[in-house]
């Protein structure tokens, strides 16, 4: 109701700086419409990337992954920044100091991370298909044939990211990166696993810039659980821009434990993706394919789950159709959640997702052949556009 009232009060058309089109579904901070991002990407991105200069500037970080020809290449994530001397990587956790990369956090010894105990069932992106919320995979991967009431998910929040989503609902991670706190070693994080914790979910921010820490903590915790005969699922909620070597190990841990990798597929068209996130998306689809090659090794519960945030005006039917066809071409059994958007961070002038938008996206996914499609955050939907 709050979103609905504020939308009707603040409803205002904005003008695309390229074509002059006026629409309430153009974000002021992006400054251009989705059609111009697709049809005139060079011009449109010159406008849209100014938003990332604003978003990143107050933290002293580059507005997009650095590509200095004389810089040192960082391979911690798929952005593969080439960091100039005395400069920082896009994530803010790597610095070129004296022509040597200094890792400020993200190693097994130290990460910018916090965690909390989230009672099951919880509002996980994969809640409709995960063992902790449904009992899928019982008895090998779940304690109960239904929701694991009385157990907990250890929600691990990494305070850095290798994207700059202008609509980020967890935008405060940027403050954690700026302060380089709070911190924990992988051993300290693993020690948080109690006997009533049946799953770990790494999110943030994103685990991608700090994967060595997450992988070490997962390995320690899972080895302990195996020794004690306990269930402990390892799950990842990620933008998918991991170093492929780290992704391979993450897949192994999830396969072994009954967990899943949840890929947040934000947009299909590269300029649309870059306008929304500040980065390129080619590695996302390569990594998605890489992880999905393993899904037949464990069909129940699902190993790979996809989600699409239905950003009004930008993640439209064209973007959804391209993404769902991509997923269906890999395997129609891959679960997909279509998530309702609400205004946050710098994109505060778009409405929540309309019911019509969500239902048509659902229909597109089903027509593509996807067998397991969910609409998430359904309570946010309304007749906004």
3-class DSSP string for 89-153: CCCCCEEECCCCEEECCCECCEEEEEEEEEECCCCCCCCCCCHHHHCCCCCCCCCCCCCCCCCEE
Lookup result for tokens 């992006």: 30
* Structure token pair of residue 168: 């980020």
- Does residue 53 have a cis peptide bond before it, meaning omega lies within 30 degrees of 0? no
* Structure token pair of residue 38: 């697709």
Reduced to 3 states (helix: H, G, I; strand: E, B; else coil), residue 70 is: coil
Q: Does residue 36 fall inside a structural domain?
A: no
Q: Does residue 83 fall inside a structural domain?
A: no
Q: CATH number for the domain including 204?
A: 3.20.20.70
Q: Does residue 58 fall inside a structural domain?
A: no
Q: What pLDDT score was predicted for residue 8?
A: 52
pLDDT band at 5 (very low <50, low <70, confident <90, very high): very low
Asked if residue 254 has pLDDT above 80, the reply is yes
Asked if residue 365 has pLDDT above 60, the reply is yes
pTM for this model (two decimals): 0.95
| Cα 371 to Cα 162: distance, rounded to the nearest angstrom | 31
The 10s digit of each residue's pLDDT in 108-148 is: 999 999 999 999 999 899 999 999 999 999 999 999 999 99
The 10s digit of each residue's pLDDT in 157-215 is: 999 999 999 999 999 999 999 999 999 999 999 999 999 999 999 999 999 999 999 99
**Residue among 376, 356, 354, 346 nearest 3 (CA):** 354
Asked if residue 29 has pLDDT above 90, the reply is yes
**Residue among 162, 204, 157 nearest 184 (CA):** 157
**Residue among 36, 281, 275, 16 nearest 166 (CA):** 275
| Cα 284 to Cα 241: distance, rounded to the nearest angstrom | 5
Domain that holds residue 184: 111-380
Q: Does residue 335 fall inside a structural domain?
A: yes
Q: Does residue 48 fall inside a structural domain?
A: no
> What is the overall mean pLDDT for the chain?
96
The total number of structural domains in the chain stands at 1
Asked if residue 377 has pLDDT above 90, the reply is yes
Under DSSP, the state recorded for 48 is H
CB distance 251 to 298 below 8 Å: no
Instruction: Sort strands 304-310 and 261-264 into parallel, antiparallel or unpaired.
Output: parallel
Q: Does residue 94 fall inside a structural domain?
A: no
Asked if residue 2 has pLDDT above 60, the reply is no
CB distance 90 to 61 below 8 Å: yes
The 10s digit of each residue's pLDDT in 323-343 is: 999 999 999 999 999 999 999
Reduced to 3 states (helix: H, G, I; strand: E, B; else coil), residue 183 is: strand
What sign has the CA pseudo-torsion 257, 119, 203, 355? positive
Q: Does residue 60 fall inside a structural domain?
A: no
pLDDT band at 11 (very low <50, low <70, confident <90, very high): confident
Q: What pLDDT score was predicted for residue 270?
A: 98
Q: What pLDDT score was predicted for residue 300?
A: 95
Asked if residue 1 has pLDDT above 50, the reply is no
Asked if residue 266 has pLDDT above 80, the reply is yes
Q: Does residue 63 fall inside a structural domain?
A: no
pLDDT band at 7 (very low <50, low <70, confident <90, very high): low
Burial class (CB in 10 A: 0-12, 13-18, 19+), 270: middle
Q: What pLDDT score was predicted for residue 12?
A: 85
- Does residue 111 have a cis peptide bond before it, meaning omega lies within 30 degrees of 0? no
The 10s digit of each residue's pLDDT in 75-112 is: 999 999 999 999 999 999 999 999 999 999 999 999 99
What sign has the CA pseudo-torsion 238, 155, 175, 111? negative
* CA 334 to each of CA 146, 325, 337: distance values in angstroms, whole numbers, following the listed order: 21, 12, 10
Asked if residue 62 has pLDDT above 70, the reply is yes
Q: How many H-runs (helices) and E-runs (strands) does the chain carry?
A: 13, 15
* Structure token pair of residue 62: 């580059």
């Amino acid at each position: 109701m709050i979103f609905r009232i504020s939308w009707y009060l603040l409803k205002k058309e904005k003008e695309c700086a390229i074509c002059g089109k006026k629409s309430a579904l153009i974000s002021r901070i992006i400054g251009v419409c989705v059609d111009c991002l697709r049809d005139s990407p060079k011009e449109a991105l010159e406008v849209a990337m100014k938003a990332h200069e604003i978003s990143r500037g107050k933290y002293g970080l580059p507005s997009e992954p650095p590509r200095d020809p004389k810089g040192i290449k960082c391979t911690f994530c798929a952005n593969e920044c080439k960091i100039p001397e005395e400069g920082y990587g896009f994530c803010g956790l790597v610095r070129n100091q004296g022509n040597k990369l200094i890792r400020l956090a993200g190693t097994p010894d130290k990460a910018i991370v916090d965690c909390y105990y989230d009672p099951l069932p919880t509002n996980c992106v994969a809640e409709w298909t995960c063992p902790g919320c449904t009992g899928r995979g019982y008895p090998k991967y779940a304690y109960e044939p239904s929701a694991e009431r009385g157990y907990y998910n250890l929600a691990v929040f990494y305070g850095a990211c290798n994207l700059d989503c202008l609509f980020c609902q967890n935008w405060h991670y940027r403050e954690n990166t700026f302060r380089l706190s709070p911190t924990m070693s992988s051993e300290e994080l693993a020690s948080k696993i109690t006997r009533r914790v049946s799953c770990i979910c790494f999110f943030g921010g994103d685990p991608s810039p700090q994967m060595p820490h997450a992988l070490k903590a997962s390995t320690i915790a899972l080895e302990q659980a195996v020794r004690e005969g306990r269930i402990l699922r390892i799950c990842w909620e990620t933008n998918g821009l991991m170093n492929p070597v780290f992704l391979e190990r993450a897949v192994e841990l999830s396969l072994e434990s009954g967990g899943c990798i949840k890929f947040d597929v934000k947009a299909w068209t590269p300029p649309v993706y870059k306008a929304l996130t500040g980065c390129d998306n080619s590695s996302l689809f390569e990594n998605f394919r890489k992880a999905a090659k393993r899904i037949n090794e464990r069909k129940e519960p699902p190993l790979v789950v996809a989600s699409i945030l239905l950003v009004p005006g930008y993640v439209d039917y064209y973007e959804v159709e391209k993404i769902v066809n991509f997923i269906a071409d890999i395997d129609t059994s891959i679960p997909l959640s279509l998530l309702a958007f609400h205004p946050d961070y710098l994109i505060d002038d778009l409405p929540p997702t309309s019911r019509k938008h969500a239902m048509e996206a659902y229909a597109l996914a089903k027509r593509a052949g996807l067998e397991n499609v969910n609409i998430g955050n359904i309570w946010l939907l309304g007749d906004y556009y």
